[in-house]
Amino acid sequence: MTVQQAAVGGEELEVWIDQDLCTGDGICAQYAPEVFELDIDGLAYVKGPEEELLQARGAATPVPLPLLTDVVDSARECPGECIHVRRLSDGVEVYGPDAE
């Protein structure tokens, strides 16, 4: 299945989680279960294109366009302030604690 990726100003976006700050409350997995999931270690991770959990810390995954709002809401509501959405092209954060 081809998934249209989210873009800001025509730029593709990806999302990653800083597990060092994750509180494990699961808000992200409630907002966007297609993108986020809690692992057995109690921390949230992003999922890959086949919905597999990307268990490497800080692993990034593309943001599908239909899920952009859910992903952005997750980043805004994340109590750990540890969900980062960045442009693929230059790595600049567009949503999240390091966004300008």
Sites of contact with ligand SF4 (CB under 6 A): 17, 22-28, 36, 44, 74, 78-80, 82-83
Contact 62, 53 (CB under 8 A): no
- Closer residue to ligand SF4, CB minimum distance, 12 or 77: 77
**Residue 51 to residue 94: CA distance in whole angstroms:** 24
Residue 38 exposed, middle or buried by CB count within 10 Å (0-12, 13-18, 19+): middle
Closest distance to ligand SF4 from the beta carbon of 2 (Å)? 27
Closest distance to ligand SF4 from the beta carbon of 47 (Å)? 13
- Closer residue to ligand SF4, CB minimum distance, 48 or 90: 48
Closest distance to ligand SF4 from the beta carbon of 8 (Å)? 21
Residue 53 CB contacts under 8 Å (≥ 6 apart), including other chains? 37, 39, 45, 47
- Closer residue to ligand SF4, CB minimum distance, 45 or 94: 45
